[in-house]
Amino acid sequence: MKAVLISAVFALAATCAAAQEKVLNLYSSRHYQTDEALYSNFTKQTGIRINRIEAGEDALLERLKNEGARSPADVLVTVDAGRLWRAEQMGLFQPIQSRVLTERIPAELRQPDGLWFAFSVRARPIFYAKGLVNPAELKNYEDLADPKYKGKICIRSSSNMYNLSLMSAMISNDGPAKAEQWAKGVVANLAREPKGGDTDQLKAVAAGECTIAVANSYYYVRLLKSTKPDEKIVAEKVGVIFPNQAGRGTHVNISGAGVMKNAPNKDNAVKFLEYLSSPEAQAYFANGNNEFPVNGGVQDNKELAMLPAFKRDTLNVSMLGRNQAAAQQTYDRAGWK
């Protein structure tokens, strides 16, 4: 009887281990339809079933904070290095050492201690009204503060994460004093108070409300791919400039992920991160949300491939989070609402 009992205990333990081996609990703030194929393909390749919880970035971070050490989460996927940094500051991640990840993902696109990794890149270039702005005269972000563009610029609010990350990069690259002077110059050149999303800025340029805007690259590519006549017109009227090509390169941000500190399925979590860096998964990012892969080309996304090749800023993306508080303070002093 004792031997039977022991065998039963071992069998139960083996069953539990097998069940654990085949599960990944994913918390994600990404909400793109093509991610469905991204995740299902991982399951097909590995047999690991994904339990997914989707919510906004702030809601997920609050949930993880409340769950604490009892959290079932294995991986957090979110957009913007600033949000990944916030999760890092909350102590949510554990460091991961993976030769696959370090070989596939450039050093500037991963947290230096291996706490989180980028899996797609989005540039934040300058857009302009064709025929009304000479792109040869608008070469750098710093040029946006030139008084000759007074009343010409549309851009989102200072509290927007994309703009916080842009200012964080400006602080790192130009220094706090110059970054603040730049912000004041941009505020003086605004055509209207900051409002709306990135697509709204592009539509405002096409409508003549302003002649210059700053937006993430994938919003523009969405317009290029759109079947709606009014959005096609916007794409036709707006041109794109990848700034600072003679210097540090264009500011970029990321979508990324990290393994949770208390991940119950750590091995599966690492496999998932390595899968996200694979050429096949990178194609989903490029073709699904029009983001640039962290390695390789843009696959068969012809509209994304239409954008000019550009040099990107190699500032480590973790700095976009570290400078976040200083970025908001800089905007506030500049009067950027």
The contacts of residue 70 (CB under 8 Å, 6+ apart) are 262
Is 251 annotated as ligand-binding? no
The answer to whether the beta carbons of residues 140 and 243 sit under 8 Å apart is yes
The whole-number average pLDDT for the span 113-142 is 96
Q: How large a percentage of the chain has pLDDT more than 70?
A: 91
Is 31 annotated as ligand-binding? yes
Looking at residue 283, its pLDDT comes to 84
Looking at residue 98, its pLDDT comes to 96
Of residues 238 and 301, more confidence is placed in: 238
Which domains, and CATH codes, for the chain? 2-122+254-298 (3.40.190.10), 123-250+317-334 (3.40.190.10)
Asked if pLDDT for residue 160 goes beyond 70, the answer is: yes
Looking at residue 1, its pLDDT comes to 44
| Dist. CA 236–CA 221, nearest whole Å | 11
* The residue type at 13: A
147 CB-contact burial (10 Å; exposed 0-12 / middle 13-18 / buried 19+): exposed
The answer to whether the beta carbons of residues 217 and 122 sit under 8 Å apart is yes
Q: Which of 66-70, 90-94, 295-299, 321-325 has the lowest mean pLDDT?
A: 295-299
For the chain, the average pLDDT equals 90
Looking at residue 177, its pLDDT comes to 98
The contacts of residue 35 (CB under 8 Å, 6+ apart) are 28, 284, 288
The whole-number average pLDDT for the span 204-226 is 96
105, 130, 128: which is closest to 116 by C-alpha?
105
* pLDDT class of 287 with cuts at 50, 70, 90: confident
Task: Give 200's Cβ-side CA count (13 Å radius).
Answer: 10
| Dist. CA 127–CA 243, nearest whole Å | 10
Q: Where do runs of H (alpha helix) occur along the chain?
A: 2-21, 35-46, 57-67, 81-89, 99-104, 161-174, 176-188, 198-207, 217-225, 229-237, 266-276, 279-288, 302-306, 319-322, 324-334
Bridge-based pairing state of the strands 75-79 and 23-28: parallel
pLDDT digits (tens, 9 = 90+) for 34-63: 678 889 999 999 999 999 999 988 899 999
Is 218 annotated as ligand-binding? yes
Helix (H, G, I), strand (E, B) or coil at 127: strand
Looking at residue 298, its pLDDT comes to 52
The pTM score is 0.89
Eight-state DSSP code of residue 132: T
Of residues 34 and 187, more confidence is placed in: 187
Of residues 228 and 35, more confidence is placed in: 228
* Number of other CB atoms surrounding residue 276 within 10 Å: 27
Q: How large a percentage of the chain has pLDDT more than 90?
A: 80
145, 166, 167: which is closest to 327 by C-alpha?
167
